Homo-oligomer: A and B are copies of this chain.
Amino acid sequence: MKTNTQQWSQTDQKIAQEALGKAYARETEALVAEINQKASQITQINDIWALNDYLNSKRYHIDGKYYSNDTISMFVLAQLVKEKWLSLDELSGLTPSTRAKVAALAKMS
């Protein structure tokens, strides 16, 4: 979970990393609860393969968001705001122009 060190201030970078950490904890905790619930309803093999497909998809998207390379983290923050894993309030410490970009991206995406 790194931020783009070339464009962001050190403060921005720290805030963004903390925000990503919070979003990751929320999203993965929600997934644990969801999988517990889904798994309790499994009664046949096709349910298992459907769960498997779902987990493959979730893993792909979660890895893509939280473990992607440096250059897309502003987009990732915007995506997390859009998905409601983060609120814009939690990014209030960012440089105003950076926060404004994230907010604008979250609306556009």
- A-side interface residues toward B, CB under 8 Å? 28-29, 31-32, 35-36, 39-40, 42-45, 47-49, 51-52, 55-56, 59
Specify which chain B residues have a CB less than 8 angstroms from the CB of A48 in the assembled complex: 28, 31-32, 35, 55
A57 → B minimal CB distance (Å)? 10
CB-CB nearest in chain B for A47: B32
Q: Known interface pairs A32-B48, A56-B56. Does A40 touch B40 (Cβ–Cβ under 8 Å)?
A: yes
Once the chains bind, are B42 and A36 in contact (CB under 8 Å)?
Answer: yes
A59-B45 Cα distance, complex, nearest whole Å: 10
Question: Among the listed B31, B49, B51, which residue makes an inter-chain contact with A45, where contact means beta carbons less than 8 Å apart?
Answer: B31
Specify which chain B residues have a CB less than 8 angstroms from the CB of A40 in the assembled complex: 36, 39-40
Once the chains bind, are A39 and B35 in contact (CB under 8 Å)?
Answer: yes
